[in-house]
Structure 1
Amino acid sequence: MLRRVNFAEARNERRVIHGSKNSKMIRSVVTCAKILLFLLNLWVLSIVLVVVLGKWQIFETRGMSQPYDTSHLIVMRELKEDGDRKLTGPSATKSNPPPPEISNVAVKQKVDKGLHFAPSLTEEEDRINTMRHWCQKLRPNLPTADLIPSVKLQQILVDDKHKLLYCQIPGVAQNDWRKILVFLSGAAKVKSHLDISVSDVHSKYSKQLKRLSDFSAPERKKRIDKYYKISFVRDPLERLYSSYDNKFKAKWSTYFHLSFGKKIIQKYRKKPSKASLQKGNDVTFREFVQYVIDADDNEEHLNEHWEQFYKQCHPCLIPYDFVGKYESLNKDIDHVLKAIKVRGNIKGSLVASNYTYPKQTLTAAYKTVPLNNLHKLWKMYYPDYNLYSYPFPSLLKQLIKTKDYTDY
């Protein structure tokens, strides 16, 4: 009997011990769960704080060291925001200006620096402010200068003597600026920069004009950070017609006739003549526009003469100090020369010509373009109009409202 009692006591004791172990295990699991829950809450809270403070874009997928420029996303983001924007809509009548608070900040900075108080920004300041506003909105995280690939900097010329970076765009006084830079370098022994021929500036003196892409990454960064950076632009639709006029209508432009004209005629013209296919020298403006639109839609590399400004100068990667316009060319070139303290070195006229096309010429050319392609042209060049403070082109408004306009 005594033995049975001992056995029972032993079993009870084992049960107590086993229960105690289970209880301790449960308490340990609960404690671990509480700790994990606390850490999870802490992690979520930290993410919320970081996102709210704007230090981390949770939906940003491209790394800052990505070896190519994604500034083409400006097109996609802007069009996505605007949706199927009607060309005649009220919001399309004017480029979007920066919000008032940006201008107020700029004016306040003037006052803080002891400068003369101005109730509004100058036109030059407004151009830069507009550009920086849109770049900040569209690409809030920008790579540092040393991470910009050299291939994206081939259009930027370097003047080390005067600490100047100039993004050259064909059709926007490019030759005039190249002449000025060669003349300032002292390489051409002439009285005036206008005495330098266009052929010489692209051949004989081409080595005098270094490109930013020629330098190492640290040297590129140093120049981007410290030099005076400029670009010159022109109404995109007028520049597009200018490219056509000089490269396809001009009888002497055999390179473009053979390299582009023949292909364009073969692809877009029904029953072309044998002479047209051989020479490529009678491309119509309508055919040219169709070629440009198709190339852009297919993400082909566009020739620099009709490629968008932002794809050549990358205003959302390079912090430009000044943007000049073809429409105010002499005044804006004068501004730059004074800024780099060489205005006294240039005598006489600054440019050989500042020709702009009559409204009737542009209207007659764009009237041959189908309406759906006018819409596509607007979408294609809209970022340039917006970034560089150009209003919605009156040319498009006029053509769309014209009663006898035909969508072929």
Structure 2
Amino acid sequence: MHHRWLLLLACFWVLFMLLVASKFIALTMRSPEGYGIRQGSLTVLPELEKMTVTEARKFQINGQPTADTLKNMTFIDVIQKERQELLRSICRNGSQGNRSHSAISKFVLDRIFVSDKHKILFCQTPKVGNTQWKKVLIVLNGAFSSIEDIPENVVHDHDKNGLPRLSSYSMADVRERLNSYFKFLIVRDPFERLISAYKDKFVHNPRFEPWYKHNIAPVIIRKYRKDRSEIRGGLQFQDFVRYLGDPNHRFMDLQFGDHIIHWVTYVELCAPCEINYNVIGHHETLEEDAPYILREAGIEKLVSYPAIPPGITKYNQSKVEYYFSKVSKRDIKRLYDRFEGDFKLFGYKEPTFLFR
């Protein structure tokens, strides 16, 4: 009888692993269409600088799931577990060096918004739909009664939106929240995110953000445009890529200040190897990830994520290839070298045009 139960348990485990493997293969075979700063000379909070990946491991989920846990796991649970395991694996092996590790500095803590009432931390990664998540937290914190009531000019006004940043707390309070609060971030294909940042800040250039066009763009053009005699047309994508891929970009980043948050890496923004995020959402699967985050945070009955326009989260391979077709292979390679940690940590494939 004992052997019979062991055989049944072994059969269950094999069936489960086959199910997980089939789901994983389905994801990896899916067409792409289907779908903070390591501070250097910047100020780093001394008590937090020592919180490296070694210390962060004690905040992570350990051990293999039990049979009862496996039976209750949904497809999205499996996906989230795979994302977490991939992230931890890359963080542990250290092959990415400082492309995967970042000090928990004031720059990082400035990116993390807090809801003490519901014990939630959200790390802002611009150009992946963060405005909507900030609206969710604004409602949870009580500044407005519904998302529809929030004026657009208030969402990013930190004097009016009622969203405290983690950097505003004492060191002891920061550690306590990092240890015990529900933490999440959203990521997106790194190169598509850079295109979105370029178009939003330097092409469309909102009226309330004139400094991108009038202060930042001319500096990049002067330093990185190959044909210095051609000054018309504003910042070109090629100029932007040369700036981002320059190993000596940090001096210019310091000059631009916090405006760089729209194009620096997820590693530099959120220190994912040092902070154990409970959920990693992907922009490409936001329709499934948003309800999951609300449920895991225990707030699904209090607030809803705003409606997602059809097709807005779909990865646009044609757009990415069009923009990068104007960029030299050397500049693309240098850009990828900088953002390789983001690709590896979050499971995004290397761009195919790197190898053409």
The TM-score normalised by the length of structure 2 is 0.71
Q: 1:265 to 1:161 in 2, by over 3 A?
A: same
Please state how far the C-alpha of 1:373 moved relative to its aligned partner. Answer: 0.8
Q: 1:357 to 1:340 in 2, by over 3 A?
A: closer
1:297 equivalenced with 2:248 (yes/no): yes
1:250 equivalenced with 2:208 (yes/no): no
Please state how far the C-alpha of 1:357 moved relative to its aligned partner. Answer: 6.3
Question: What per-residue deviation string (whole Å, max 9, x for no partner) do you get for residues 211-261 of structure 1?
Answer: 111111111111011101111100000001111010111143522001211
Q: Using the alignment, how far apart are the partners of 1:157 and 1:256 within structure 2?
A: 24
1:180 equivalenced with 2:132 (yes/no): no
1:116 equivalenced with 2:74 (yes/no): no
Please state how far the C-alpha of 1:180 moved relative to its aligned partner. Answer: 0.8
Question: What per-residue deviation string (whole Å, max 9, x for no partner) do you get for residues 22-70 of structure 1?
Answer: xxxxxxxxxxxxxxxxxxxxxxxxxxxxxxxxxxxxxxxxxxx787479
Report the 3-state secondary structure (helix = DSSP H, G, I; strand = E; otherwise coil) of the residue aligned with 2:114: strand
1:378 equivalenced with 2:332 (yes/no): no
Q: 1:245 to 1:215 in 2, by over 3 A?
A: same
Please state how far the C-alpha of 1:126 moved relative to its aligned partner. Answer: 0.6
What is the aligned partner in structure 1 of residue 345 from structure 2? Answer: 387
Please state how far the C-alpha of 1:189 moved relative to its aligned partner. Answer: 3.6
Select 2:316's aligned residue among 358, 367, 382: 358
What is the aligned partner in structure 2 of residue 323 from structure 1? Answer: 280
Q: Using the alignment, how far apart are the partners of 2:242 and 2:52 within structure 1?
A: 24
Alignment of 1:1-400 (within 5 A): 68=49, 108-111=64-67, 116=71, 122-138=78-94, 148-190=104-146, 193-203=147-157, 206-252=160-206, 253-267=209-223, 268=225, 269-273=227-231, 276=232, 282-294=234-246, 296-300=247-251, 301=253, 303-347=260-304, 349-351=306-308, 354-356=312-314, 358-394=316-352, 396-397=353-354, 400=355
Tell me, yes or no, if the aligned pair for 2:107 and 2:269 is still in contact at 8 Å. Answer: no
Output the aligned Cα RMSD. Answer: 3.1
- Select the structure of larger CA radius of gyration: 1
Q: 1:194 to 1:325 in 2, by over 3 A?
A: farther
Q: Using the alignment, how far apart are the partners of 1:352 and 1:220 within structure 2?
A: 36
The number of aligned residues is: 285
Q: 1:117 to 1:307 in 2, by over 3 A?
A: same
Question: What per-residue deviation string (whole Å, max 9, x for no partner) do you get for residues 123-143 of structure 1?
Answer: 11111111112212229xxxx
- Percent identity among equivalent residues? 26
What is the aligned partner in structure 1 of residue 36 from structure 2? Answer: none
Report the 3-state secondary structure (helix = DSSP H, G, I; strand = E; otherwise coil) of the residue aligned with 2:264: coil
Report the 3-state secondary structure (helix = DSSP H, G, I; strand = E; otherwise coil) of the residue aligned with 2:285: helix
Report the 3-state secondary structure (helix = DSSP H, G, I; strand = E; otherwise coil) of the residue aligned with 1:239: helix
Tell me, yes or no, if the aligned pair for 2:291 and 2:305 is still in contact at 8 Å. Answer: no
Question: What per-residue deviation string (whole Å, max 9, x for no partner) do you get for residues 71-103 of structure 1?
Answer: 89xxxxxxxxxxxxxxxxxxxxxxxxxxxxxx9
Tell me, yes or no, if the aligned pair for 1:182 and 1:208 is still in contact at 8 Å. Answer: yes
What is the aligned partner in structure 1 of residue 32 from structure 2? Answer: none
Report the 3-state secondary structure (helix = DSSP H, G, I; strand = E; otherwise coil) of the residue aligned with 1:158: strand
Tell me, yes or no, if the aligned pair for 1:286 and 1:369 is still in contact at 8 Å. Answer: yes
Paired letter, 1:160: D
| Greater RCO structure (CA 8 Å; 6+ sep) | 2
Question: What per-residue deviation string (whole Å, max 9, x for no partner) do you get for residues 361-382 of structure 1?
Answer: 2222100100111111111111
Tell me, yes or no, if the aligned pair for 2:138 and 2:161 is still in contact at 8 Å. Answer: no
Please state how far the C-alpha of 1:265 moved relative to its aligned partner. Answer: 2.2
Report the 3-state secondary structure (helix = DSSP H, G, I; strand = E; otherwise coil) of the residue aligned with 2:125: coil
The TM-score normalised by the length of structure 1 is 0.63
Report the 3-state secondary structure (helix = DSSP H, G, I; strand = E; otherwise coil) of the residue aligned with 1:154: helix
Tell me, yes or no, if the aligned pair for 2:202 and 2:235 is still in contact at 8 Å. Answer: yes
Gapped runs of 5+ residues in structure 1? 1-64, 73-102, 140-146, 402-408
What is the aligned partner in structure 2 of residue 404 from structure 1? Answer: none
Q: Using the alignment, how far apart are the partners of 2:118 and 2:309 within structure 1?
A: 23
Q: Using the alignment, how far apart are the partners of 1:251 and 1:152 within structure 2?
A: 26
Tell me, yes or no, if the aligned pair for 2:115 and 2:140 is still in contact at 8 Å. Answer: no
Tell me, yes or no, if the aligned pair for 2:285 and 2:313 is still in contact at 8 Å. Answer: no
Q: Using the alignment, how far apart are the partners of 1:135 and 1:344 within structure 2?
A: 35
Report the 3-state secondary structure (helix = DSSP H, G, I; strand = E; otherwise coil) of the residue aligned with 1:165: strand
Gapped runs of 5+ residues in structure 2? 1-45, 54-60, 96-102, 255-259
Q: Using the alignment, how far apart are the partners of 2:295 and 2:157 within structure 1?
A: 28
